[in-house]
Each structure stands twice: as structure tokens, then as C-alpha cells.
């Protein structure tokens, strides 16, 4: 690195610091001194004139008191003019006396005696006569010189008989101040020159060891920790040089430890069964172990510096910023028809001590076997369902009614037996539907749709629940009286409603209300079933449609639930091109919403 000159780097800063310090100090002192000097000199100038004015005023007042003969006015003018001549000095330009009619009574100007007897237009004269008070002011005349003007009332028998006017030459005061200011500026320039010379010497003394430390820092940046900084003294800079040498020695030791830890980490990553990928803050791969290379079927040379999104095959699904905010695992499905292969990716942010993101760590787990076990569990559960409970309860209610004597009624008994037979057949259909749930996972699913009046259909299902309920729960219906013709699979939607209403009954308190509502829109209808149960925590509500998920597992087992009901409902509604979701307030109840396609115009044509 080229050696710094005296006018660069920290040396210049030292010199500028001292020079500016002296300059600012001299400026502050100069401004304060000049201001105070100006105030003091101007006050002395004014007080000097005022002291003489008091005597002159007294003498003029005495002249007004003296009795005079017929030519008294001329005599008065002569006497006052004599007084004005006597009091004129170098610091007073002009002295004049005006009578109470604002006419010039006398003037000290030898060459301008012709104005005596003329009336003045100076408003300050009339103002002094009216207010009977002294007026003073400093203004510039036509020669751009500052002049101090003084108007003093002359009192005779408590009446203003005349006005004494004085023009003071205050410009000489400011001339003196200007001379003194010039002396201060010259002194400041001399002080700045001396200060600059001293600052160069001090800067040289301070910056020499700093420059040595700069060279040592550059050597350390290149990995050379063997050099030492020369210590010039035991002052603060000398102590800094010693600390720098100690830092160099410790960095050398820490580098050796880091190299050792790096080799250990490299060995661990090499033999890990889980894949590990590290990226920089822009999402480009900087490290990948052999396990990750094998899982992704790539080589280190081909993926280094490539975006992690493209390597994981997540383009179009995630951005790098979204991955840094992802708290859940991401499933990567690399399966083929012949060989299933599924990975679970977990993401962890690498942060600096300041909290700024420095990169991303991706850990890959092979969960192919786990997915196989999960799929087997779904196939097994397809043969059992808590959905069997609702039709069984209905059948038991009808059979109990028959056993209690309803079989003797020739009108009711056949209808009850018919309902029982229908419920038995529906149980068979429910079991078949559970088997179809597994088919839906493989996209092998067909709906048997037919047009029906949803209002009548929904009321019929609620009637069935009201008849078979064994708890004190009230059903409130908000269903339009008009026909709502929809094209749906009746058995599947029955299954959906059975699941939702039976859940509402399970979690409703004694004396609670279940509200069933249908809202018509132009392109769909919305069905809402609300209970007054315990509600669902906000953090769990988005998971209630997952298979086998139960918010309260102990309570669900007591009611015989398997966690499949809402998952089945979701599959059925989505198969009808509808949507299903839940809203809940913990402690107040839950509402299940779902939509079904509905064309209002086609409905009108049907009628």
C-alpha cells in the first residue's frame, strides 16, 4: 500500500481538528469581545453626550425664564446660539433648538443660519413636544455614516417650550471597533499558523504506530499472524499496540482450533445418514454432504452456487424468502411408478449475532417407509368409522318405539320398519364410502349426482337427528322455504351432514342450541352448522380436517371418534367442487361452513 502523505488519512483529521478548535475558539472569543466592546463604547459615547446635554438643557431653560425687552426673541436666539457654539465638539455634528411651534430657534451650524425661523418637517420634534419625553435613535445618513439622533424636551413652568436636537458622531465608535476587529483577525491567523505546525508534529507522533497496526491488520487478513507491531511507548497507543499483538497471537490459536473443528464437522457431515445443505443469504448452495447428494441424485460440482429452490424442485411453489419463513416441514415427492421416494425437508435460518439472516440450513430425511406405514393405516381405518354410530342410534330409537308397542299401529309400524331398513342400507353405503375414501387418494372416484331440493333434503336430515337425539339440545333452522335445486350425490352429502351434525351434538352442552342455516348466492349455496360447545383453539382450527387429527383426544375417544369424520366431509365436498372450513371462538362454539355449486338461473329454468 502506498505510504500516506501528511495531508491524507488520520493525519489530516488531526491537523483539521486542532486548526478548527483554535478557529472556533477564536471566533467565539472574538464575537463575544467585539459585541461587548461595541455595547461598552456606544454606551460611553451616549453617556458622555447625555451628561453634557443635561447642563446645556438647564442653561437653555434658564434663558427662557429671563425677562427680555422688545427684541426679546432675537436676544433669546442669540443667547441660545452662543450656548450651542460652546457645547459643540468633535463627537457632535450638530445642535439645534426648536420652539414649541417646531420652528428652528437656533443652530450650531455657522454656515446654515438661514434656517432659523423655518418650520421643520421632522416628526420626532413634534412627537417630543406632544409626549414631553426624550427620543433617541441610531440611523445612517446620506453618506452611509451612522449618526446618533437625540431629541430632548425643554420644560418651562412644567410646559414644553422647546426641543433640543443633537446629532452625535457615533461612526467614530464603530471605526474603533473595526480597527480592534482587524487586530483580532490578525492574531487569529497567527495562532492558526502556529497551531497547524504543532498539529503536524502531534499527528506524526500519533499516526506512526497506527500505520504500523494497519500494515499488521492487512497481513493478518492474508493469514499471516507472525508479525508484531512495534511499541513506541507505554501510553494509550502503546497499550493498544500491545493489545493488538495479543489479539494476533490469540487469533492464530483460534484459527488452528477452527481448522480442527472444520475438519471434525466435515467428517460428521460426510458420514451422516441425513442430507444437509447450506446456502448463503441469497439462497445459493455453498455446502452439501454425500447423503444429500445421494438423495437428490446430484453431484457437488453441479449444484454448488445453484439456487436451493431449483435443486429441491420447489420452483413455482416457494420462493427463497418463503422458505426462510417456513416453520413446518416440506414434503418432497420424488416417487416414480416403480419406486416411491419421499423426503421431508426441514429449514433452519443461519443468523448473525445482529439478527441478520446469513443463510439457510436444509436437513433432508428419507420418510418413504413412514409414508408407506401411513398409507397402510389409512387403508385399515377405511374399514372402521365412527360414522356407523349415527345410523345405529337411529335404528335403535325406531326399534325401541316398535318394541314399546308401535308395531301394533298399522300406519306407523311399516314406516318405522322402512326407516330401519333404509338406515341399515345406509350403513352399508357408509362402509363402502370409507373404502371409497382410499380410492379417492388414488383419484379413482365417481359421484352419483342427481338434482334434488336441498331445503327439503336438509330438513329431513335434521328431523332424523331430532328424533334420535338423546340429549337436551335444540335445533334452530334458518333454511329458505323456497326450493333450492342442486346437483349432488345425496348419499355423500348425507354423510357430510351426518358427520358435522353428530360432532355438533357431541360437543354441545346440555340445553345448547345447534343452528342450521342455508345462504343462497348466485353461483353457490353456503351451509352453516353452529354449536355452542367448547370451541377450538385458534392454532388448531386449520388442522381439524386432517385425517385422524383430534383436538381433544381423550374426549374424542370417549365419544368413539376416530378423527376421520371431517376428513371424509372435506373429501366429499371437494369432490363436489365446493369448499369447507371452520370458524370458532374458544369457549363459545364452532361453526362448520361448506359450499355447493348452485346455478340460480338454471334453477329458474327447471321450474
527 burial type by CB count under 10 A (0-12 exposed, 13-18 middle, 19+ buried): buried
Contact 105, 162 (CB under 8 A): yes
Question: Of 160, 175, 190, which one is at a domain's C-terminal end?
Answer: 175
Residue 87 corresponds to which cell in the numbers above? Answer: 457645547
Q: Are 387 and 293 in the same domain? A: no
Is the pLDDT reported for residue 67 higher than 70?
no
> Using one digit for the tens of pLDDT, what is the confidence trace for 170-204?
878 888 888 888 888 888 888 888 877 877 777 77
Model pLDDT, residue 191: 81
Residue 18 corresponds to which cell in the numbers above? Answer: 486542532
Q: Are 358 and 389 in the same domain? A: no
* pLDDT band per the 50, 70, 90 thresholds, residue 436: low
Q: Are 571 and 428 in the same domain? A: yes
Mean pLDDT of 546-559: 56
φ/ψ bin of 356: left (φ > 0), alpha (ψ from -120 to 50), beta (otherwise):
beta
* pLDDT band per the 50, 70, 90 thresholds, residue 390: low
| Residue 399 C-alpha from the chain's centroid | 67
Q: Are 548 and 443 in the same domain? A: yes
Whether residue 247 is contained in a domain is answered as no
Model pLDDT, residue 605: 44
Question: Of 336, 366, 396, which one is at a domain's C-terminal end?
Answer: 366
pLDDT > 70: what percent of the chain?
85
Pairing of strands 513-520, 474-478: parallel
Q: Are 287 and 415 in the same domain? A: no
- Among 122-131, 135-144, 312-321, 526-535, name the one with the lowest average pLDDT: 135-144
Is the pLDDT reported for residue 418 higher than 50?
yes
When comparing pLDDT for 173 and 235, which is higher? 173
Mean pLDDT of the chain: 80
Q: Calculate Rg over the CA atoms of the chain.
A: 53
- Among 113-127, 230-244, 475-489, 528-542, name the one with the lowest average pLDDT: 230-244
Is the pLDDT reported for residue 6 higher than 70?
no
> Using one digit for the tens of pLDDT, what is the confidence trace for 481-511?
999 999 999 988 998 999 899 889 888 888 8
Whether residue 198 is contained in a domain is answered as no
Q: How many domains does the chain have?
A: 3
Mean pLDDT of 329-335: 85
Residues 52 and 48: their CA atoms lie apart, in Å, by 7
Which residue from 347, 358, 172 is spatially nearest to 275, judged by alpha carbons? 347
Q: Are 553 and 445 in the same domain? A: yes
> Using one digit for the tens of pLDDT, what is the confidence trace for 335-356?
887 788 888 889 888 887 777 8
Is the pLDDT reported for residue 386 higher than 60?
no
Mean pLDDT of 24-53: 83
Whether residue 259 is contained in a domain is answered as no
Is the pLDDT reported for residue 455 higher than 90?
yes
Mean pLDDT of 19-33: 82
Whether residue 410 is contained in a domain is answered as yes
CATH number at residue 148: 3.30.450.20
Residues 153 and 412: their CA atoms lie apart, in Å, by 130
Model pLDDT, residue 475: 93
CATH number at residue 429: 3.30.565.10
* pLDDT band per the 50, 70, 90 thresholds, residue 260: confident
Q: Are 287 and 161 in the same domain? A: no
CB atoms within 10 A of CB 253: 10
Model pLDDT, residue 596: 95
Q: Which of 28-32, 209-213, 597-601 has maximum average pLDDT? A: 28-32
Mean pLDDT of 245-249: 79
Model pLDDT, residue 43: 84
Residue whose entry in the numeric block shows the C-alpha cell 385422524: 548
Which residue from 528, 524, 537, 526 is spatially nearest to 584, judged by alpha carbons? 537
Residue 106 corresponds to which cell in the numbers above? Answer: 437656533
Q: Are 401 and 472 in the same domain? A: yes
Contact 181, 34 (CB under 8 A): yes
Model pLDDT, residue 573: 92
Mean pLDDT of 255-264: 76
Q: Which of 267-271, 412-416, 521-525 has maximum average pLDDT? A: 521-525
- Among 282-291, 332-341, 379-388, 419-428, name the one with the lowest average pLDDT: 379-388
Whether residue 209 is contained in a domain is answered as no
> Using one digit for the tens of pLDDT, what is the confidence trace for 262-306?
777 776 777 677 888 889 988 899 888 888 888 888 988 898 999
* pLDDT band per the 50, 70, 90 thresholds, residue 2: very low
The DSSP line for 6-32 is: TTSHHHHHHHHHHHHHHHHHHHHHHHH
Q: Are 460 and 408 in the same domain? A: yes
The DSSP line for 337-378 is: SS---EEEEEEEEEE-TTS-EEEEEEEEEE-HHHHHHHHHHH
Model pLDDT, residue 560: 39
Three-state SS at 515:
strand
Phi, psi of 319 (to 5 degrees): -105, 165
pLDDT > 90: what percent of the chain?
13
Contact 536, 584 (CB under 8 A): yes
Provide the whole-model pTM.
Answer: 0.36
Question: Of 175, 196, 221, which one is at a domain's C-terminal end?
Answer: 175
> Using one digit for the tens of pLDDT, what is the confidence trace for 574-586?
989 999 999 999 8
Supply the range of the domain harboring residue 334: 272-366
Whether residue 225 is contained in a domain is answered as no
Model pLDDT, residue 240: 76
The continuous run of DSSP H or E covering 417 comes out as helix 412-441
φ/ψ bin of 27: left (φ > 0), alpha (ψ from -120 to 50), beta (otherwise):
alpha
The continuous run of DSSP H or E covering 277 comes out as strand 275-279
Whether residue 285 is contained in a domain is answered as yes
Angle between helices 412-441 and 565-575 (to 10 degrees): 80
- Residue 345 bridge partners (DSSP): 330, 364
* DSSP 8-class letter at 103: B
* DSSP 8-class letter at 144: S
Is the pLDDT reported for residue 4 higher than 50?
no
Residue 203 corresponds to which cell in the numbers above? Answer: 499527528
Q: Are 351 and 382 in the same domain? A: no
Q: Are 549 and 417 in the same domain? A: yes
Whether residue 428 is contained in a domain is answered as yes
Q: Are 361 and 382 in the same domain? A: no
| Residue 185 C-alpha from the chain's centroid | 52
Amino acid at each position: 500500500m502506498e505510504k500516506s502523505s501528511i495531508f491524507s488519512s488520520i493525519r489530516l483529521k488531526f491537523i483539521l481538528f486542532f486548526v478548527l478548535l483554535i478557529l472556533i475558539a477564536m471566533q467565539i472569543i472574538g464575537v463575544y469581545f467585539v459585541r461587548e466592546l461595541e455595547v461598552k463604547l456606544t454606551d460611553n459615547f451616549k453617556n458622555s453626550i447625555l451628561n453634557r446635554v443635561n447642563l446645556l438643557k438647564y442653561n437653555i431653560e434658564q434663558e427662557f425664564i429671563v425677562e427680555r425687552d422688545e427684541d426679546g426673541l432675537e436676544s433669546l436666539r442669540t443667547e441660545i446660539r452662543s450656548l450651542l457654539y460652546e457645547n459643540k465638539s468633535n463627537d457632535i455634528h450638530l445642535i439645534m433648538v426648536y420652539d414649541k411651534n417646531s420652528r428652528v430657534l437656533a443652530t450650531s451650524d455657522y454656515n446654515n443660519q438661514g434656517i432659523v425661523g423655518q418650520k421643520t418637517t421632522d416628526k420626532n420634534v413634534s412627537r417630543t413636544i406632544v409626549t414631553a419625553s426624550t427620543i433617541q435613535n441610531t440611523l445612517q445618513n446620506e453618506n452611509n455614516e451612522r449618526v446618533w439622533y437625540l431629541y430632548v424636551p425643554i420644560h418651562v413652568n412644567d410646559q414644553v417650550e422647546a426641543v433640543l436636537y443633537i446629532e452625535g458622531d457615533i461612526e467614530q465608535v464603530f471605526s474603533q471597533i473595526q480597527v480592534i476587529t482587524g487586530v483580532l483577525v490578525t492574531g487569529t491567523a497567527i495562532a492558526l499558523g502556529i497551531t497547524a505546525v504543532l498539529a503536524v508534529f502531534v499527528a506524526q507522533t500519533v499516526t506512526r504506530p497506527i500505520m504500523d497496526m494497519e500494515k499488521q491488520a492487512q497481513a493478518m487478513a492474508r493469514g499471516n499472524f507472525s508479525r508484531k507491531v512495534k511499541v513506541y511507548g507505554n501510553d494509550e497507543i502503546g497499550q493498544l499496540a500491545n493489545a493488538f499483538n495479543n489479539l494476533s497471537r490469540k487469533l492464530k490459536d483460534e484459527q488452528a482450533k477452527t481448522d480442527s473443528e472444520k475438519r471434525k464437522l466435515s467428517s460428521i457431515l460426510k458420514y451422516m445418514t441425513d442430507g444437509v445443505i447450506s446456502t448463503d443469504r441469497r439462497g445459493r448452495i455453498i455446502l452439501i454432504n454425500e447423503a444429500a447428494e445421494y438423495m437428490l441424485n446430484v453431484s457437488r460440482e453441479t449444484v454448488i452456487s445453484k439456487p436451493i429452490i431449483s435443486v429441491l424442485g420447489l420452483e413455482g411453489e416457494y420462493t427463497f424468502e418463503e422458505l426462510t419463513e417456513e416453520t413446518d416441514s416440506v414434503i418432497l415427492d420424488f416417487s416414480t411408478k416403480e419406486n416411491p421416494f419421499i423426503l421431508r425437508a426441514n429449514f433452519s435460518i443461519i443468523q448473525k449475532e445482529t439478527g441478520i439472516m446469513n443463510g439457510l440450513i436444509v436437513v433432508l430425511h428419507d420418510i418413504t417407509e413412514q409414508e408407506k406405514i401411513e398409507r397402510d393405516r389409512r387403508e385399515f381405518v377405511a374399514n372402521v368409522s365412527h360414522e356407523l354410530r349415527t345410523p345405529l342410534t337411529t335404528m335403535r330409537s325406531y326399534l325401541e318405539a316398535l318394541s314399546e308397542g308401535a308395531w301394533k299401529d298399522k300406519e306407523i309400524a311399516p314406516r318405522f320398519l322402512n326407516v330401519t331398513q333404509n338406515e341399515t342400507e345406509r350403513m352399508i353405503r357408509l362402509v363402502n364410502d370409507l373404502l371409497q375414501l382410499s380410492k379417492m387418494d388414488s383419484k379413482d372416484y365417481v359421484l352419483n349426482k342427481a338434482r334434488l331440493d336441498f331445503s327439503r333434503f336438509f330438513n329431513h336430515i335434521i328431523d332424523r337427528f331430532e328424533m334420535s337425539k338423546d340429549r337436551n339440545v335444540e335445533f334452530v333452522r334458518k333454511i329458505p322455504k323456497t326450493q333450492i335445486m342442486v346437483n349432488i350425490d345425496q348419499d355423500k352429502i348425507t354423510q357430510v351432514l351426518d358427520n358435522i351434525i353428530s360432532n355438533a351434538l357431541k360437543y354441545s352442552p346440555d340445553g345448547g342450541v345447534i343452528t342450521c342455516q342455508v345462504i343462497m348466492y348466485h353461483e353457490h349455496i353456503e351451509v352453516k352448522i353452529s354449536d355452542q360447545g367448547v370451541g377450538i383453539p385458534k392454532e388448531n382450527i386449520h388442522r381439524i380436517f386432517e385425517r385422524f387429527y383430534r383436538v381433544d383426544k381423550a374426549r374424542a375417544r370417549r365419544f368413539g371418534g376416530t378423527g376421520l369424520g371431517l376428513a371424509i366431509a372435506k373429501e366429499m365436498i371437494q369432490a363436489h367442487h365446493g369448499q369447507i372450513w371452520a370458524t370458532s371462538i374458544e369457549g363459545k362454539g364452532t361453526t362448520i361452513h361448506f359450499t355447493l355449486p348452485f346455478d340460480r338461473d338454471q334453477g329458474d329454468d327447471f321450474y
